[in-house]
Amino acid sequence: MSSYWHQAQALGRGTAAADPTHERAAYGSAQPRPYLAASQAAARSDGEMEAEERAVVWEVAQPGGADAAIEPPSGDACAAQLRIPKVALMFLTRGVLHHEAAWALWFAHARGLLPAALLRARGCEPRLLASLASTCGAAASPRLLKQQHLFSVYVHVGANDARFAGFPEDSLFHGTDIKERVHVSWGTFALVDATRALLRAALQDPANQRFVLLSESGVPLYPPAATHQQLLAERRSRINACANPGEERNLHRWLGKMESDKLKREHWRKSSQWMVLTREHAVLAVNDTEIAERFRLYCLPTFREGWWRDCYSDEHYFATLLAAEGRDAETDCRGYAVHVDWSRMGEHPRAFEPREISSARLRLLRAPTEGCRYPATISTADAQFVPADALGLVGSQVCTAPAPPPYASSALRPQCPLFARKFAPHTAPAVLAAFADCANGLRIANDGC
């Protein structure tokens, strides 16, 4: 067990682990159901998107019904009672997550948080409040990931590591590694295969409504409440599937042989690998076979017909798929969920050094451009959640306070990243210190103490 994990425990945060989410395929139903058919993927107007997106959230959050307390696949009885829509955090790794202690502090900051609007939707019934008090937060489990009800966690470890047998019992990520493992080779379609394996695993839990792809060197830039509130309020996937005029799409990587009945040259897109997908877009990604096969055959870094062709599927596949499906208008046209520093050019982004890790640096990563009002984002989100251990004290106040529907608005614009990378292993102590510092005002994993 790493010394960083001991540091997190010494700071009074929980020990950890989570079980993988499998089994049933729907809240309120013991019968599995298939993913949404790709034929449901017709393009929609902004108004239709907004109405449908609200319906999706309320379908998960809808109160009532005899099956309201049936456990979801994750076994999260607390989330099932309130029908809390979750954000799936999917880690693409080589078996080690460098910032386990920092993530532990972050998840501890989410312990027991419940969306106030969903409590109001259930009428704050006394029996419900009593049940929540016994199934939410610290009462839910001795394991940290089970003490929070806003996020699900999935980790892909490449099949390259034949010795990997799962994360140890005392790891935060124990039980989160998915069974489907891909032999990953940089620059090949295998990275897309691994991502789709993560999506398949996360889609087994119908509570998951947003799907975030992260790396072993990534960290959050906002506290859990703000991250959850922001992503659930956004109607569009954080990926660039748009044909923005003048934007570099690396069209030289397109080959005529890639064309098919569905895939044409005008659909070619480029976007960051590190993305956030809505559930409907995640379903499209795991159901696709035609476009995936074209990429598998023709988009890879190799010499072809006497010249070097540097085609990287992870930069193109998901955005191109959405464009080919006519879903470009359902993306944010930026794909900036995770800050990555490409200022040094080349095939790999710049990795931060320990001396660069400071509250000022993390604030800069939060707001690389205008429109990133992070103080308002954090304070607004704080007002949207109630700690489970305070239900008895604030129950009546929450129930009578006027408030908008859940996830009705977002404070951040699409150009504002919610996560950042690349923080190499030797930056872990500095990142942990920044997260634990009560005086720096970041509040990523504390309330200012």
pLDDT digits (tens, 9 = 90+) for 75-88: 899 999 999 999 99
Torsion of Cα atoms, 366 then 372 then 377 then 379, to 10°: 80
Q: Which pLDDT belongs to residue 152?
A: 98
Q: Strand, helix or coil at 386?
A: strand
* Position 71 confidence tier, pLDDT thresholds 50, 70, 90: very low
* Position 275 confidence tier, pLDDT thresholds 50, 70, 90: very high
The pLDDT of 288-315, averaged and rounded, is 85
Q: Give the number of other Cβ atoms within 10 Å of residue 404's Cβ.
A: 9
pLDDT digits (tens, 9 = 90+) for 174-229: 999 999 999 998 788 999 999 999 999 999 999 999 999 999 999 999 999 999 99
% residues pLDDT > 70 (the chain): 80
Q: Which pLDDT belongs to residue 15?
A: 32
pLDDT of 38 above 80 = no
How many helices (DSSP H) and strands (DSSP E) are in the chain? Answer: 15, 11
Where would I find the beta strands (DSSP E) of 134-177?
151-157
- Strands of the sheet with 219-220, listed across from one edge: 219-220, 419-420, 338-339
Please list, in sequence order, all residues whose beta carbon lies within 8 angstroms of the beta carbon of residue 380, skipping any fewer than 6 positions away: 226, 229, 411
The pLDDT of 50-55, averaged and rounded, is 45
Q: Give the number of other Cβ atoms within 10 Å of residue 251's Cβ.
A: 10
pLDDT of 23 above 50 = no
The pLDDT of 276-294, averaged and rounded, is 97
Q: Give the number of other Cβ atoms within 10 Å of residue 31's Cβ.
A: 7
pLDDT digits (tens, 9 = 90+) for 306-318: 666 688 999 999 9
Find the helix or strand (DSSP H, E) in which 295 lies.
helix 290-298
Output 406 or 42, whichever has higher pLDDT: 406
pLDDT of 3 above 80 = no
Output 62 or 416, whichever has higher pLDDT: 416
Q: Are 275 and 215 in contact (CB under 8 A)?
A: no
% residues pLDDT > 90 (the chain): 57
The pLDDT of 29-54, averaged and rounded, is 41
Q: Give the number of other Cβ atoms within 10 Å of residue 66's Cβ.
A: 7
pLDDT digits (tens, 9 = 90+) for 344-399: 776 778 899 999 999 999 999 998 877 788 888 899 898 899 999 888 766 557 77
Question: Which of 232, 235, 273, 282 shows the shortest CA–CA distance to 87?
Answer: 232
Amino acid (1-letter code) at residue 295: F
pLDDT digits (tens, 9 = 90+) for 392-430: 766 557 777 776 778 887 779 888 999 999 999 999 999
The pLDDT of 162-177, averaged and rounded, is 95
Mean pLDDT score of the chain: 82
Output 92 or 22, whichever has higher pLDDT: 92
* Position 121 confidence tier, pLDDT thresholds 50, 70, 90: confident
State how far Cα 282 lies from the chain centre. Answer: 12
pLDDT digits (tens, 9 = 90+) for 310-339: 889 999 999 999 999 999 999 999 989 999
Q: Which pLDDT belongs to residue 105?
A: 97
Q: Strand, helix or coil at 269?
A: coil
Per domain, the residue ranges of the chain are 3-436
The pLDDT of 282-300, averaged and rounded, is 95
